[in-house]
Structure 1
Amino acid sequence: MKRAIVIPAYNEETTIGQVLDSLLDFKLYQIIVIDDGSTDNTATIVQQYPHVVLLSLATNLGAWKAMQTGIRYCYVNDYDRVITFDADGQHLPNSITQLVAAQSLSDDDVVIGSCIQRGSGARHVAWRLFRALSCIDVADLTSGLRIYSRAAIAILSSREATLLEYQDVGVLLMLKTFGLSLSEVQVEMLPREDGISRIFHSWGAVCYYMTHTTLLCLSKVKLSNEFAYQKALNNYND
């Protein structure tokens, strides 16, 4: 089974080296870093790790589209599992083992590393609202620590997935619409060492995120012709 750890990074020069050092023991995984148009030394630091694949974007596209770039790379190169991992030092390497073990037991297409103790009051209000609107039974909707199956990788590589702006509720709605199974496992996360949350760094950002995601939940995600084709293709391959 081919497995990859995908790490989107934007101006993470203070943490990316530590993150890559912490993953040195995961020799059976291909580590892929997507430099999302960083203006600092992020790419230069990653280049010092010859076993790491570096995908550099010409401009900053945002966390989800950078993540999708790595997921598409894995789809094209026939990876069976993708683990998404943050570059800011919040995610712990032993959580990867927990995700893999949980997926092996549940056989779910997506397992989320959940840490409900983290985050501000605004984050928890958002979680409660979007659980109600989306009917997605996941406690930590915004966790970027996830493991995806081959079927999930195929769906998230589609053109429709490119239209998403965030990697949380919209991604889960799309996967649920496609009939994939979701679950979560409790993990520990560290406080952010540097930088700010794109979603929760200000009330303006929170309002935009709440409006955008609420409309997405209300409109749901429709199965397009491309989705129908990919579903038929996955069933054939299975």
Structure 2
Amino acid sequence: MKKVNTAIVIPAFNEQASICRVLNSLIELDGFDIIVVDDGSTDDTAILVSAFPQVILLSLAVNIGAWKAMQTGIRYCHLNNYERLITFDADGQHQVASIKLLCDHQNETLADVVIGSCTGRGSLSRHIAWTLFRGLSGIKVNDLTSGLRLYTRPAISILSTREASLLEYQDVGVLLMLKTFGLKLSEKAVNMNSREDGISRIFYSWGAVAYYMAHTSLLCISKVRKSSELSYQLAMKRHLK
């Protein structure tokens, strides 16, 4: 595997039932920094993570939601000059073996974003949503809601902007934003485990699905504008030099 400065970012909210198993499976990997963003958990998630000295723990004072917690980790990676990061779930669905698959695929394709695709999972509502959003957005990605993704430095820079904070999910909106900047998206087929604990934050009820589909449909048909903050970031870097 090509040695690149890479982080694994795990947002976690009340994941005490699974977080230790997830971290124990990851700490044996060589060449990756592991970052857990505790999203204001009210259980023992942060305490359990702090028992792993090799894991970087970012604790949020209040719960701000899965995407904004993820963006906290992305911004940390942007500020600390990571070349790429992998987003990984805390609930045990993602498999450690998938990390090498994503990294190898990115090395081969030089894609800016690699999505770990597992289209065999999920309910009927999930597959209906995928079909609708592919048609509305024009994004040729099979698994639009996969939380297992690899982002390279250009994607990290874009997703650390204030405009990206306006998004609500790490799914179609993120991919639309990256597509607007001309980044190359790719998919790699992976296997996923069944959820060990809890429920999907999007597909747990038809009401939640209806809200998600209305929200994301509007996002798909709206004009996505390029962020002006990237030029600001570059100007600040030149100033600091």
Q: For the superposition of Structure 1 and Structure 2, which TM-score range results when normalised by the shorter chain?
A: over 0.9
Distance 2:171 2:113 in 1: 12
Tell me the residue number matched to 1:50.
Answer: 53
Q: Is the 8 A contact 1:169 1:213 kept in 2?
A: yes
Once the 2 structures are TM-superposed, how far is the Cα of residue 221 of structure 1 from its aligned partner? Answer: 1.1
Q: Partner of 1:71: helix, strand, or coil?
A: helix
Q: Out of 21, 24, 39, which is 2:24 matched to? A: 21
Alignment of 1:129-168 (within 5 A): 129-168=132-171
Change over 3 Å in CA distance of 1:56–1:168 after alignment to 2: same
Q: Out of 72, 75, 98, which is 1:72 matched to? A: 75
Q: Is the 8 A contact 2:161 2:227 kept in 1?
A: no
Larger displacement relative to structure 2 (220-229 or 27-36): 220-229
Q: Out of 181, 186, 193, which is 2:184 matched to? A: 181
Could you list the structure 1 runs, at least 4 aligned residues long, displaced by more than 6 angstroms after superposition. 231-234
Q: Partner of 2:178: helix, strand, or coil?
A: helix
Tell me the residue number matched to 1:119.
Answer: 122
Change over 3 Å in CA distance of 1:232–1:219 after alignment to 2: farther
Change over 3 Å in CA distance of 1:216–1:27 after alignment to 2: same
- Normalising by the residue count of structure 2, what TM-score does the alignment of the two structures yield? 0.94
Once the 2 structures are TM-superposed, how far is the Cα of residue 186 of structure 1 from its aligned partner? Answer: 0.3
Distance 2:156 2:192 in 1: 24
Tell me the residue number matched to 1:104.
Answer: 107
In structure 1, stretches of 5+ residues that fail to align are none
Q: Is the 8 A contact 2:82 2:153 kept in 1?
A: yes
1:164-185 deviations in Å (ceiling 9; x for gaps): 0001000000000011000000
1:115-149 deviations in Å (ceiling 9; x for gaps): 00000000000000000001000000000000000
Once the 2 structures are TM-superposed, how far is the Cα of residue 26 of structure 1 from its aligned partner? Answer: 1.3
- Please report the RMSD computed on the Cα atoms of aligned residues, expressed in angstroms: 1.5
Q: Is the 8 A contact 1:173 1:220 kept in 2?
A: no
Once the 2 structures are TM-superposed, how far is the Cα of residue 227 of structure 1 from its aligned partner? Answer: 4.2
Once the 2 structures are TM-superposed, how far is the Cα of residue 228 of structure 1 from its aligned partner? Answer: 5.2
Distance 1:104 1:32 in 2: 22
Among all aligned residue pairs of Structure 1 and Structure 2, give the percentage whose two residues are the same amino acid: 65
Q: Partner of 2:150: helix, strand, or coil?
A: strand
Alignment of 1:197-212 (within 5 A): 197-212=200-215
Tell me the residue number matched to 1:90.
Answer: 93
Once the 2 structures are TM-superposed, how far is the Cα of residue 203 of structure 1 from its aligned partner? Answer: 1.0
**1:37 alignment partner AA:** G
Q: Partner of 1:113: helix, strand, or coil?
A: strand
Residue 61 (structure 1) aligned with residue 64 (structure 2)? yes
**2:38 alignment partner AA:** D
Distance 2:233 2:224 in 1: 15
